[in-house]
Amino acid sequence: RPILLIHGGAGDITDARVEGKFKGIRDALRAAWKHLEPTGAESSSSALDAVEAAVRSMELNESFNAGYGSCLNTAGAVEMEASLMEGREMRAGCVTLLTDVMHPITVARRLMEKRRHVFLGGQAAQELALSTGSEKLPAGALVTDSARQALREFMEQEAKGLDTTFARTELDDARTDPKGD
Amino acid sequence: TVGAVAMDASGLIVAGTSTGGITGKWPGRIGDTPLLGCGTYADNAVGGVSTTGHGETIMRYNLAQRILGAIQHQGLSAQAAAERECQKMTERIGGTGGAIVIDHKGEVGISWTSRRMAWGYVRDGIIHYGINQNEVFQEPL
């Protein structure tokens, strides 16, 4: 029997974000499950397609810390990473320090399919992304108000000398209306 | 962080993980997500894992590899292995996190030491999901 299991992040998830997480989890499962359903034709990649589809769904959803809605670094920028591994031949693709692409998981799959290297980072990963079909988004397109607020709070804590060793991996909902009302 | 593990009708196990990291990380910081054995691992003979939580902790503990090791070498179930290794990681290093696991028999493991972890799975036409300890919701696919 096929099975699909996903997660949408762990940490101090606030009550305000629970429903968004639940909806995103259900949406991702529904988007991905069709790849695991029997079609009558043997597919050698249905688990791969399902995992990629589930992760892509969550990368699009700002309720999750991936793709659109990612946490920000101290420079206020998004730097993303992803990995994908299959258990039959134990092939894998891993990418890090990606910027301005929506779906790092797809870049990881493209690297895995090249069958040459397992892990690329920085400019090389970026070039792989763009050369294998990922769209380059405008700078800052993945930055959300919640992520900016979380970074402001982090900087304030650091300025006060508070311990930020276990910095947040989950964001609060923006507490001010983004339109300024 | 987000992640997924699947087993298809042919028995292929796949695991994937994607993240933006942690707020206030230094530019150039790399976390557990792209590291095999930490954020992701898959081996049809044992199972597949995706992890989430405090990356600096998960990297130092090799969480995904340890969970699969507990299944392979100590005969633990996916659930028991995930629970034990997440707990031991937090006891040993201090940071928190969680993991989702499908073992080679298709059994599920879900565990975390963080305050909450969002998770969900589909089996036999039913979506099971949750975010708090000891709380499971269900609805038809």
pLDDT tens-digit readout, B49-104: 999 999 999 999 999 999 999 999 999 999 999 999 999 999 999 999 999 999 99
Candidates A174, A167, A181, A168; CA nearest to A149 is A174
Could you give the dihedral angle defined by the CA atoms of residues A122, A124, A126 and A128, in that order, rounded to the nearest 10 degrees? -150
Partner-chain contact B27 A74, CB within 8 Å: yes
Mean residue pLDDT of chain B comes to 97
How far apart, in whole angstroms, are the C-alpha atoms of residue B94 and residue B88? 9
How far apart, in whole angstroms, are the C-alpha atoms of residue B99 and residue B113? 9
Instruction: Output the six-digit token pair for A181.
Output: 């009302």
A150 burial level (CB within 10 Å; 0-12, 13-18, 19+): buried
Q: What is the pLDDT of residue B110?
A: 98
Positions of chain A with pLDDT under 70: 40-45, 165-181
Write the residue in A55, A167, A171 that is nearest to B4 by C-beta.
A55
The complex's ipTM? 0.98
Q: What is the pLDDT of residue A175?
A: 42
pLDDT (tens digit per residue) in A28-65: 999 999 999 877 555 556 999 999 999 999 999 999 99
DSSP string, B36-92: BTTTEEEETTTEEEEEEE-HHHHHHHTHHHHHHHHHHHH---HHHHHHHHHHHHHHH
Instruction: Output the six-digit token pair for A98.
Output: 């990606």
**DSSP E strands: which ranges in A12-117?**
80-86, 92-98
Question: In B, which residues are within 8 Å of A10 by CB distance?
Answer: 1, 52-53, 96-98, 112, 114, 116-118
Partner-chain contact B2 A3, CB within 8 Å: no
Q: Report the gap between the CA of B65 and the closest CA in chain A (Å).
A: 13
**DSSP-derived secondary structure letter, A31:** H
Q: Does any CB of chain A come closer than 8 Å to the CB of residue B75?
A: no
Question: In B, which residues are within 8 Å of A156 by CB distance?
Answer: none
Partner-chain contact A85 B21, CB within 8 Å: no
Mutate to test the interface with B, among A17, A19, A85 (most CBs of B within 10 A): A85
How far apart, in whole angstroms, are the C-alpha atoms of residue A101 and residue A136? 6
Q: Where do runs of H (alpha helix) occur along A45-116?
A: 46-59, 104-114
How far apart, in whole angstroms, are the C-alpha atoms of residue A47 and residue B47? 13
B 36-65 near A (Cβ less than 8 A): 36, 39-48, 50, 52-55
Q: Which residue from B minimizes the CA distance to A97?
A: B28
Q: Which residues of B are catalytic?
A: 1
How far apart, in whole angstroms, are the C-alpha atoms of residue B108 and residue B71? 12
Instruction: Output the six-digit token pair for A19.
Output: 């429903």
CA angle (B46 as vertex; A26, B80 as ends), nearest 5? 65
Is the Cβ–Cβ distance between B109 and B77 less than 8 Å? yes
Q: Which residue from B minimizes the CA distance to A152?
A: B24
Partner-chain contact B121 A69, CB within 8 Å: no
Q: Report the gap between the CA of A105 and the closest CA in chain B (Å).
A: 6
Question: In B, which residues are within 8 Å of A167 by CB distance?
Answer: 22-25
Instruction: Output the six-digit token pair for A85.
Output: 């591994």
Contacts with A17 (C-beta within 8 Å, 6 or more apart), sequence order? A63, A170, A171, A172, A173
